[in-house]
Structure 1
Amino acid sequence: MNESLQEQIEKTYNLIVQAHNQMAEIWQENVLFTLQWWFGLTLAIVPWVLWIIYRKKDSTIRLLSAGFFVMLISSWLDFAGVTFGLWYYIYEIIYFIPSFFPWDFSLLPVTIMFLIQIKPNVSPLIKAIFFSVFTSFIAQPFLIWSGLYQPIHWEHIYSFPIYIVIYLIAHYISTRNSWSRV
């Protein structure tokens, strides 16, 4: 007789917990406080410091709304990619988050927020293509070279249209006229 659904899920869940505990041990012994870990921490903090200093102050909420969208969608897509075995990260700054925190919560949103506010009359499509080329074909290879990111079943070209769409939606969010007092 087959196991019940609950028993199957419990068995699988216990495997996940065991793997998570093993990853936590590896992270504590081999990742925490390494040069790559400090680099990741720097990538998580410095872009926000620069944004706070150089942002267009009267557009803060508009830009943060776009940035929050980028964080939400990029972390969700990153989590899905890791979960489906398309890539993984070696030097995560927070071991229990299966994505590269500096990438999803700092580099992508801050870069997009800067691009939105710089030269606002330039076509969003041109900016989106520029962002996507830079991110897909320069930043991602750099992350591989530096040992932070390891694609398994993923090519840089797959990221290209995704980054264009993310940028265009973030731009759309930032330019809505629905910003009024509650």
Structure 2
Amino acid sequence: MDTLQGSHRINEVDHFYKKVIEAHREYFHYWLHHTLFHWDFFLSLFLAVVPWVLWFIFRHKESRDRLLFAGFFVIITTSWLDFWGTMYGLWFYTGKVLPSMPSFIPWDFCLLPVFVMLLIQYKPIRSPYLKGLIFAGGSAFIGELLFQWIGLYVMTNWSIFYSFPIYFVIYLIAHRLSKASHFAEV
């Protein structure tokens, strides 16, 4: 079939995708033999399940939809940024639950969104800027350093000082989204 792109360009791009597919295939075999059912796999699995169990227990049931709306924003944003960071070689992860994208499920899909949702619901009158500082400081200076010390997170061209303002802005946007009151009927 003739396309607007032209077969030469399609073949060039196909060459790059085949390299990516081969790299993923090699990593899957490594993960299968060196990560699956090892201590770091179980730690990552624990970190993927426990935050959601805690959120389910301690959530404000009447605010569930608002909290999940903010939490899904955090999931989408952090997993997208994490994808870009790993794709451009700024950091990488070991001990992954799944050998695929997103980069690190416990961090992007569990720890960060649950942390944000719990902060939003705890003392909701408190300053979102203070809570944003707590989230950014806890995530960058405690979470990232702890994951680095364990060996699950390896920074190659990144600094936790870059992460701090990003986490702060993510929290402020999530907080704002949790306060949204103008949803139209479907």
Q: TM-score range by the shorter chain?
A: over 0.9
Q: Where do 5+ consecutive residues of structure 1 fail to align? A: none
Q: How many residues align?
A: 180
Matched, 1:176 2:180: yes
| CA distance in 1: counterparts of 2:184 and 2:172, whole angstroms | 22
Task: After TM superposition, give the deviation of residue 134 of structure 1 in Å.
Answer: 1.0
> Which residue matches 1:127?
131
Question: Percent of counterpart pairs with the same letter?
Answer: 44
| CA distance in 2: counterparts of 1:71 and 1:123, whole angstroms | 23
CA pair 173-98 structure 1, distance change in 2 beyond 3 A: closer
Does the Cα contact within 8 Å between 2:69 and 2:177 map onto a contact in 1? yes
Matched, 1:105 2:75: no
> Which residue matches 2:82?
78
Task: After TM superposition, give the deviation of residue 7 of structure 1 in Å.
Answer: 2.3
TM-score, with normalisation over the residues of structure 2? 0.93
Does the Cα contact within 8 Å between 1:82 and 1:99 map onto a contact in 2? yes
Q: How does 1:22-171 map to 2 (within 5 A)?
A: 22-171=26-175
The C-alpha deviation readout for 1:40-97, integer Å capped at 9, x for no partner, is 0010001101111110000000000000000000000000000111001111101022
| 2:118 partner amino acid | F
Task: After TM superposition, give the deviation of residue 177 of structure 1 in Å.
Answer: 1.6
> Which residue matches 2:3?
none
The C-alpha deviation readout for 1:15-63, integer Å capped at 9, x for no partner, is 1111110000000000001111101001000110111111000000000
SS at match of 2:131: helix
Supply the RMSD in Å over aligned alpha carbons: 1.3
Does the Cα contact within 8 Å between 1:88 and 1:151 map onto a contact in 2? yes
TM-score, with normalisation over the residues of structure 1? 0.95
Q: Where do 5+ consecutive residues of structure 2 fail to align? A: 1-6
| CA distance in 1: counterparts of 2:117 and 2:11, whole angstroms | 47
SS at match of 2:92: strand
| CA distance in 2: counterparts of 1:54 and 1:181, whole angstroms | 29
SS at match of 2:154: strand
